Amino acid sequence: MTDPNKVLAIPKTDLPLMVFSDNMRSFLSWGIKAHQHGAYNHFMWMMEPGKFVSQDWILHEVPVSKYLQGKHRLKFVRGTNWNFVQRTRIRIALRMALNKSWYKKLYDPLQIVGKAIWCKWLQIPGLKICSDYGFVLKEIDYDYNLKHPSPTELNQYTKDHDYEVYLRYLPD
């Protein structure tokens, strides 16, 4: 679907949603996807209408409109049977991550080097990359056991487990 208003109209009752993003105009994005053999180079959450919880250089909330300007493909995913309590637990875990000190929300550039050379253990302790925030699934999904996943690995996990695609956004 190509109507950005459908993304902007996602109601709070349908949130939170996992969001996989592909910047179609970025060489870095292309490199990440090629290296990981995947379709997406970024992972984030939507827990409030009109806002994503995203980690660029720091974990923060960004307006959804930033991703609706024609450069990004988006895939929205959710659990097939998340109830109110489970959705609330995810929101609390994300809010706790957002409320950490700024230096605990920084992006881990060393982990990107580790992923590039297939050494997942190479990282700065305590820092994360975008797809590490899939860890909040542990709040409700006791099978979740990914350690420092890439967006591709997290996407594959949702395909292999009890998750469904809620919406896809493809710009014109």
* Mean pLDDT score, 125-138: 84
pTM, full prediction: 0.89
Residue 26 has pLDDT above 70, yes or no: no
pLDDT value at residue 16: 97
Helical pair 27-36 and 109-116, crossing angle rounded to 10 deg: 50
How far CA 53 is from CA of 15, 17, 88, 133, 161, in Å, comes to 12, 10, 15, 10, 23
Beta 17-23 vs 42-48: how paired, if at all? Answer: antiparallel
* Mean pLDDT score, 47-53: 96
What are the tens digits of pLDDT across the range 69-124? 888 899 999 999 899 999 999 999 999 999 999 999 888 777 777 777 777 777 77
**CATH fold for the domain made of 4-169:** endopeptidase fold (from Nostoc punctiforme) (3.90.1720)
In whole angstroms, what is the distance from residue 150 CA to residue 156 CA? 10
Query: Residue 20 — very low, low, confident or very high, per pLDDT cuts 50/70/90?
Result: very high
Residue whose structure tokens are 């706790």: 96
pLDDT value at residue 3: 84
pLDDT value at residue 132: 82
pLDDT value at residue 123: 75
Domain limits, the chain: 4-169
